[in-house]
Amino acid sequence: MPTLGYRKASKRGYHICCYDCVPCSEGEMSNTTDSEICHKCPNEEWSDEKKEKCVPRIYEFLSYKDDISLIFLGLVLFFSSITLFTLGTFIYHWDSPIVKANNRTVSLILLVSILFGFLSVFFFLDRPVDITCLLRQTSFGTFFSIGASCVLAKTITVCIAFKASKPGNIWGKWLTGNASYYIIFICSSVQVLICVVWLLVSPPYVEFDHRSYPGKIIIQCNEGSDLAFYLMLGYMGFLTAVSFVVAFMVRTLPDIYNEAKYITFSMLVFCSVWIAMIPAYLSTRGKFMVVVEIFAILTSCAGILGCIFLPKMHIILLKPNLNLRKTIIGRNMI
């Protein structure tokens, strides 16, 4: 006799009164004996282990209660504090040679963009809502592009500086102008335009995924337009690749404060992280997809901060004798 959670299935070749007891499938239930069929549970519910009743599905998202979220939260606060400390140190030593050597204003903008890159992780944590879905991808994409534009501007400035050192070279007028700010403004504006068009034409929205995991409802952000999302990532990668190529070309130029080699390492870290992130991102679902992206954001931001600014902080804090004008003049005379 069929019990709860089972249905009757007739046996071929036997009398109609002979039947088998077949358990209900996942997502179906039977709460009566001698049931002919199993009843499908509503979208918001799922069958229990015995298939006797439907129970509410579990909502899944990257909550602050998850251990990995607490780790990410600690990392964000830690790296943000380091960025703020670096920013304060640069402002305090604003007129020192090492701060002035590689365009201090651009360095300031870069540090602020890195800081907001770290803070953009908060848009990825906890239950997604409409406003966080709109801001999570566009915010980090914009901040990263501003940072990459700053890195590109700093690299081009180093390149122009050595070309302009030759008498009669036409590059001199670019060095004395506002070329760095033009580069940052133009390169960042392209990314902002991409994000604005994305939000106007096909904005991201909250999505409830009932299919990926049995018994769970995945609350996630649908990007709205996959083309816009990958165009935003692609442009960010393009800026990074150009910065890497230019920095690699001028990495061996003789200068006590030449940061091109550090930019090369930072862009190499950035590219490596995001190239490895893409297949991992596409092969995961739900909150694990968010975990992969947060890890990529934190790692790439930390790579830029460490590779570009850690050597400067080492000199400013631990070797102040190298941060003196007479030291630079003495080395150049040698």
The domain spans of the chain are 6-56, 67-333
The average pLDDT across 162-167 equals: 57
| Cα within 13 Å of Cα(323), Cβ side | 18
Cβ neighbours for 111, distance < 8 A, ≥ 6 positions apart: 83, 86, 87, 90, 305, 309
- Over the stretch 65-92, which tens digit does the pLDDT of each residue have? 889 999 999 999 999 999 999 999 999 9
- Over the stretch 182-198, which tens digit does the pLDDT of each residue have? 889 999 999 999 999 99
* Region for residue 73 given its phi and psi (left: phi exceeds 0; alpha: psi -120 to 50; beta: otherwise): alpha
Residue 176 has pLDDT above 70, yes or no: no
Cβ atoms within 10 Å of 187's Cβ, excluding its own: 21
Enumerate the H helices of the chain as residue ranges.
67-92, 97-101, 104-119, 130-164, 172-176, 179-201, 226-249, 260-282, 287-304, 310-318, 325-333
CATH, domain range 67-333: 1.20.1070.10
Q: Helix axis angle, 130-164 relative to 179-201, nearest 10°?
A: 160
Residue 104 has pLDDT above 80, yes or no: yes
- Over the stretch 134-157, which tens digit does the pLDDT of each residue have? 999 999 999 999 999 998 888 887
Residue 20 has pLDDT above 70, yes or no: no
Q: How far apart are the first and last CA of the chain?
A: 99
Residue 322 has pLDDT above 70, yes or no: yes
Residue 180 has pLDDT above 80, yes or no: yes
